[in-house]
Structures are given as C-alpha cells and as structure tokens.
Structure 1
Amino acid sequence: MKIYERLVDSRLREMVTISQEQWGFMPESPFLFVLTLDCIVKLLEEGPLRTILYADDIALVADSREELEEKVRLWQVALADNGLRLNVKKTKFISSEQCTRPILDCQGEAIEKVEEFRYLGSDLSEEGSVDQAVRGRINAAWLKWRESTGILCDRRCSRTLKGKLYRTVVRPALLYGSECWALGKAQERQLHAAEMRMLRWACGWTRRDRVRNEDVRAVMKTAPIQLKMREQRLSWYGHVLRRPEDHPIRLALDFEAPGKRPRGAPRKRWKDVIKKDLAEVGAMPDDAFDRMRWRRIIRTADPATARD
C-alpha cells in the first residue's frame, strides 16, 4: 500500500506543477505546518497554559488587553517570517472583564470582540457560564433525533431498538463536552427535560398519558442523564489525575485564580461539582490511579447493560 501511495504521489508530481500559493495542498504540508508552529512557540517562549494549539487553531491567554495585543502582534510577525499569515477576520477575542477598546494587529486592523464563541465544539462565554453550551448541546441532540426519526418514530420498531439508537446516536451528542461543565440545577433540569421529551416521543407517549419518568426509562432501558454526566465527569477527572504533575492539564486543575471570590453564594466551580460527585459514589482521588477499580466505581450502567 505504501509503495502504491508513493507511486501515485510521484506520478502526480510529474503531471501537476504546484505553485507556492498552493503549498498548503502538498502532502507534507500538515507535518511542516505543525513543525513550524512548534518552532514559533519555542521561539516566543510562552509558559504553560498561555498558548494552546490544536491543529491550525491557536488560543492565546493573557492577563490584560495590552498583553494580549502584544502577543497577537508577536505571533503575526512570527507567522509572516515563516511564510504564514494571521487571518484577522477569523480571529476573535473574549474577555472576562469589561473591555471596550479593540485589539489592533500590526497593520492597525481591529480584532473583533465577542461575548461567546465556539472552540473545538464547545461554546465559551465571557461570563464563564455554561448556559450557551447547554443550549447548543440540546440543539445538537435534537438534530440527531430528527435525523433518526425514521426509526425513533416508527411504531413497527421495538422500544428496545429505539432505546439502543438513542443511547448510541442521540445521547452522545447531548453529552459532548459535558465532562468540563460546572452545572447548576437549572441547566440539569433543561437537559433532563430535553431527554425525557425525546424518550416519551419515541415511545409514543405524552405528559397526558401520565406515565412516570422511571417507567419511561425502564422501557427505553436508559439511565438518567444526570448520572451519565457524573460518570463522564469522573472519568475525565481520573484521566487528569493520572497525568504527570507538570503536565499542562494538571497545572490547570491545580490553578488558583488570583483575588477573592464574591460574598454570598459564589458561582459553582468544576472542583465543587467533582467533590460532590466523589461523595455520591464514595470514592477518593487516589482510587483513580487504579483504572479498573476507578471504572467500576464511577460506572453508571444503563438497565440494558446492567450486570449483577
């Protein structure tokens, strides 16, 4: 197979002339692109959690508007020196503080400030709220549900099959990224209501039929959405704990933001949610280093896959 690929690549190179403007279509370009970005990061000597790279997405973190503007200009110059350019129209910035002045690049072009944006499939808000992320996941789940109505709304299909389809197609879309959410009661109710509506419609029931939620779940063989989210959070928490202490993700877990929290009832943090989850399943952080034991502790099986 490798010989065939090399032969095809060689034939294409003989038949097609690739100009410098089409450099991005060359077979080696992904590797060269990643290598170039890695060299730029080492050149700028950014600390951990200050520059986050994923494929061609670059996230810069700064403590002030002036610092962020300076970092953008440094990156713009470094990219230009290596034959790349920063697409200002696709570049956005978000601030956790009130910031009215725009950020300017090297050419004086303003970078747009937004209140929320989507990064790697997750919605981020300047307020740190997960409301938009929850709404986005609910919409994505309904989209998958509508794509599957040929089975979910077919009375000839068994409810067991419908439940399996929901668990494998619809629910993953609803829970994508939920392991990083610090949910409140209101967001949990939204997710619960969306799931129950999908399950009831798949069964052909409405609220007027007065069928309890527990009975609907038993028929569809589906565990509560709150318990599945807890399982995903603790699974991700275990992955983080097993990382080396100097790994960026461990540094993010142990990071303490400067300043004091407001008086009254401060916003719930992810650590607070994890602490509550650990108490509910009766686990300790040290249990995460034993993968098999940790998996048994945190697992919430659906009724269809429950074992004695």
Structure 2
Amino acid sequence: MDVLTRGIQDSVPWCMLFADDIVIIKETRVAVNVTLERWRYILESNGLRISRSKTEYLWCNFSNLPNGEGVDVLMADQEGPFRVKGKLYRVAIRPALLYGSECWALKKAQECRLEVAEMRMLKWIYGRTMLDRLSNGFFRNKLRVAPIAEKVKEGQLCWFGHIRRRRIATPVRRVEDLVVSGSRTRGRPRRTWADLLTLDLRALNLSADMTSDRRSWRRRIRVAD
C-alpha cells in the first residue's frame, strides 16, 4: 500500500494508513471526496478497491475553542469534561500512536515504552504528575481508557482474523507459506508476529478456527474502554 500510494499520500495526520483502513483528514467534505476519488483510481488501477459501504465521514467543529486554538488547548483545559477528553484520546490520539501496530512484533521493553508514553499523555490530560502519587488505574478509570498494550493485542488479533477469512490464493495468505533461506545468526531468535499471536491465542483460550465468524471473533477479543 505504501508503495502503490506513495504519490498521493499526505503527511500524518492528514493521511494515515492502517492494516486495511485509510484515514483522510481535510478541512472540507469536498476536499475529502476529491482525495478519496484519487485513492479509488490508484487502487482500482492496481486490482484493489475501496469499500463504499464501509466508508464513514466524521466531522468536528473546533470553532468554539478560545482564541481559535487547537485540540491541545481542549485537552489541557482542566475545566473541560474528562469524559470528552478520554473519548478524543481514544478516537484520535491513540490510533495515531498505534499506527501500523497490527503487524508489530513488540518486545517487552517496547511495550513498556508505549505504556510510559500513554501514561504521560493521560496525566497531562488530567493535569497531574508523578508527584501526585496516583496510580495508573486512577487515570484510566477517570478517562475510561484501556491499557495500550491490550489494544495492540486486540488490533493484531483483528488483523489475524481478517487474514484467516481471506481465500488461500490471495497474496496476504500466500505469504504465510514463504520460506526464508539463509543461515541464522547465533543466539536466541527474534520473536515474530506469529509467535506473539500464538501466545495471545493461548492466553485467551482461542483457536484459529474461530476466526470464520467475524462478529463472534471480535466479541471474544475486544478490550473494552
């Protein structure tokens, strides 16, 4: 996708590619439709397509912010409703932080860095610091935000289910049977995406056969927040 659409991609956050989704941000709906039409032409020229039935338009009006400031003013305003701040974090900030995480093979150290980054953001939104000696659960409950590591696992399992429901002949399934030649370096091999999925499926008492029913699969792996 990155290679095919390199000529029409805008910088983040105006254009973001996820596992099988595209986020296009413009100042007007007309501009969104023009950009979407460019994407449709490029993708269909290469045998892909955009699902019109799943396309959604989200609109937000920031004209009521003081002095025309941006979203950062809303998030830092201690008089603003924390429920709205938590929702804005879940739908706008966290997806940008987890861009492309569906295919990540995270190490424990990398998970910790993600959790530290999230907690710094939540504490800043709530107007507190580490000196206040409040637990991480306190901020998560107030803003209704699930642990980011759990959301990474949810996204990876969703993508895994999406792959398993595709036909065997599709390119995304043929990759599963690829064998990489060559010698491996000494030491413990790196943990792969497939290794993480095996551990997550085992922890949730799930099997790959359950992915055939999309709705049932999402209910089983969903992390509420």
TM-score, normalization by structure 2: 0.69
Name the CA distance, whole Å, in 2 between partners of 1:147 and 1:275.
42
Unaligned runs of at least 5 residues, structure 1: 1-51, 58-119, 123-145, 303-308
CA-based RMSD of the aligned residues comes to: 2.1
Cα distance, 1:196–1:249 mapped onto 2, change above 3 Å: same
**Alpha-carbon deviation of 1:262?**
3.4
1:253 aligns with 2:139: no
Deviation track 1:225-270 (CA, whole Å, cap 9, x = no partner) reads 0010000000000011111111100011232212343343111111
Q: Which of the two has greater strand per residue? A: 1
* Matched-pair identity in %: 43
Name the CA distance, whole Å, in 1 between partners of 2:3 and 2:189.
31
Alignment map for 1:23-42 (pairs within 5 Å): none
Cα distance, 1:170–1:55 mapped onto 2, change above 3 Å: closer
Name the CA distance, whole Å, in 2 between partners of 1:293 and 1:260.
41
Alignment map for 1:159-178 (pairs within 5 Å): 159-178=82-101
Name the CA distance, whole Å, in 2 between partners of 1:149 and 1:187.
26
**Higher Rg:** 1
1:54 aligns with 2:14: no
**Alpha-carbon deviation of 1:147?**
4.8
TM-score, normalization by structure 1: 0.51
Write the letter of the residue equivalent to 1:267. R
Name the CA distance, whole Å, in 1 between partners of 2:72 and 2:214.
38
Name the CA distance, whole Å, in 2 between partners of 1:287 and 1:261.
34
Name the CA distance, whole Å, in 1 between partners of 2:70 and 2:203.
36
Corresponding residue SS for 1:54: coil
**Alpha-carbon deviation of 1:168?**
1.1
Name the CA distance, whole Å, in 1 between partners of 2:153 and 2:130.
27
Alignment map for 1:79-228 (pairs within 5 Å): 147-228=70-151
Unaligned runs of at least 5 residues, structure 2: 8-15, 19-68
Residue number in structure 1 paired with 2:199: 276
Name the CA distance, whole Å, in 2 between partners of 1:210 and 1:255.
50
Greater alpha carbon shift after TM alignment, 157-166 vs 146-155: 146-155
Cα distance, 1:249–1:147 mapped onto 2, change above 3 Å: farther
**Alpha-carbon deviation of 1:53?**
6.0
Cα distance, 1:207–1:270 mapped onto 2, change above 3 Å: same
Corresponding residue SS for 1:157: coil
Write the letter of the residue equivalent to 2:90. R
Write the letter of the residue equivalent to 1:276. L
Name the CA distance, whole Å, in 2 between partners of 1:259 and 1:245.
26
Q: How many residues align?
A: 166
Deviation track 1:78-122 (CA, whole Å, cap 9, x = no partner) reads xxxxxxxxxxxxxxxxxxxxxxxxxxxxxxxxxxxxxxxxxx869
Residue number in structure 2 paired with 1:266: 189
Name the CA distance, whole Å, in 2 between partners of 1:269 and 1:213.
29
Which structure is higher in RCO with an 8 Å CA cutoff and minimum separation 6? 2
